[in-house]
């Protein structure tokens, strides 16, 4: 018998074998900034793009994406994509950007809460990097009857999904966690059994979860 797989996301019909449990809301924040005063824009999430997509003034400025998925959304937004990261991890992405962004004034568009040191790494390497907070996440509260069944596989795509899941439900030792990357894995409590996906994408997480779902 196959185990239930839960994706903690509002994405629907990504895979009919996957149960979606939207664990947090995204709130876009107001901002006041002249994008044209920067040489480059850094994006480490799709929500950073969505949060400013109503504005067109940024789309001609060189954009730098942490992953293929983020790059795809930048392309769909008709942006000026210049570089896509290889590692998919915030701190490693910053190191990839150091030789590329030398002598440039950079804007990192991000969530209110982030876990990487991207901004600090760039500034320590003599790249003027400023930050713009354009969105925040808030946990959704669920009744205990929404708790995943025993032996379920839970896919965590960010530290926020960990925080919001554990604020709602106690962890069952029969669960297996699949995490999107090593940064997210650091935020799991020590008692949680987990595996890290081979690539930093939901598709890779789902593929791994399915490999563990059959007894």
Q: What average pLDDT does the segment 13-35 reach? A: 87
Provide the residue range defining the domain that includes 101. 27-137
In contact, 183 and 71? CB cutoff 8 Å:
no
Q: What average pLDDT does the segment 27-39 reach? A: 96
Together in a domain, 115 and 169? no
Asked which of 90-94, 160-164, 193-197 is least confident by mean pLDDT, the reply is: 90-94
Whole-Å CA distances, 93 to 29, 86, 168, 213: 25, 7, 32, 32
Instruction: Categorize the per-residue pLDDT at 152 as very low, low, confident or very high, splitting at 50, 70 and 90.
Output: very high
CA distance 106 to 9: 30
Instruction: Categorize the per-residue pLDDT at 195 as very low, low, confident or very high, splitting at 50, 70 and 90.
Output: very high
Residue 15's pLDDT is: 63
Residue 9's pLDDT is: 81
Count structural domains, the chain: 2
CA distance 128 to 148: 45
Together in a domain, 128 and 56? yes
Q: Which of 99, 98, 70, 94 is nearest to 84 (CA)?
A: 70
Give the model confidence (pLDDT) of 199-208 as tens digits.
888 889 999 9
Together in a domain, 51 and 12? no
Per-residue pLDDT at 65 exceeds 60: yes
Residue 189: DSSP 8-state: -
Per-residue pLDDT at 215 exceeds 70: no
Together in a domain, 15 and 31? no
Buried b (16+ CB within 10 A) or exposed e, 59-82: bebbbbbbbebbbebbeebebebb
Give the model confidence (pLDDT) of 106-142 as tens digits.
999 999 988 889 999 999 999 999 999 999 999 999 9
Three-class secondary structure of residue 83 per DSSP? strand
Whole-Å CA distances, 7 to 29, 52, 91, 214: 26, 26, 25, 17
Q: What average pLDDT does the segment 160-185 reach? A: 93
- Strand order in 105-111's β-sheet? 24-28, 128-139, 105-111, 40-43, 62-65, 80-84
Whole-Å CA distances, 162 to 7, 52, 132: 12, 26, 24
Together in a domain, 35 and 103? yes
Give the gyration radius of the chain's Cα atoms. 18
Per-residue pLDDT at 161 exceeds 90: yes
Together in a domain, 101 and 157? no
Q: What average pLDDT does the segment 77-91 reach? A: 90
> CATH number for the domain including 57?
3.40.50.10090
Instruction: Categorize the per-residue pLDDT at 14 as very low, low, confident or very high, splitting at 50, 70 and 90.
Output: low
Which contiguous run of DSSP H or E holds residue 69? helix 68-76
Instruction: Categorize the per-residue pLDDT at 31 as very low, low, confident or very high, splitting at 50, 70 and 90.
Output: very high
Together in a domain, 36 and 52? yes
Please state, as a whole number, how many other Cβ atoms lie within 10 Å of the Cβ of residue 85. 24
Higher pLDDT, 85 or 13: 85
Per-residue pLDDT at 187 exceeds 60: yes
Together in a domain, 13 and 36? no
CA distance 112 to 122: 19
Per-residue pLDDT at 214 exceeds 90: no
Residue 115's pLDDT is: 80
Please state, as a whole number, how many other Cβ atoms lie within 10 Å of the Cβ of residue 39. 14
């Amino acid at each position: 018998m196959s185990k239930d797989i839960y994706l903690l996301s509002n994405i629907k019909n990504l895979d009919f074998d996957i149960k979606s449990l939207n664990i947090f809301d995204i709130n876009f924040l107001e901002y006041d900034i002249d994008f044209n005063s920067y040489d480059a824009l850094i994006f480490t999430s799709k929500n950073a793009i969505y949060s400013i997509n109503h504005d067109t003034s940024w789309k001609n400025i060189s954009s730098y994406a942490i992953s293929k998925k983020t790059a795809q959304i930048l392309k769909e937004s008709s942006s000026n994509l210049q570089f896509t990261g290889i590692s998919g991890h915030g701190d490693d992405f910053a190191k990839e950007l150091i030789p590329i962004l030398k002598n440039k004034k950079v804007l990192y568009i991000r969530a209110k809460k982030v876990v990487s040191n991207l901004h600090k790494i760039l500034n320590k390497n003599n790249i003027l990097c400023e930050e713009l907070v354009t969105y925040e996440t808030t946990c959704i509260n669920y009744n205990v009857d929404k708790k995943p069944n025993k032996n379920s596989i839970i896919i965590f795509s960010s530290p926020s999904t960990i925080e919001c899941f554990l604020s709602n439900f106690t962890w069952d030792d029969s669960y297996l966690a699949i995490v999107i990357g090593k940064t997210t894995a650091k935020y799991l409590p020590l008692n949680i059994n987990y595996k890290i996906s081979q690539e930093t994408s939901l598709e890779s997480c789902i593929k791994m979860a399915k490999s563990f779902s059959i007894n």
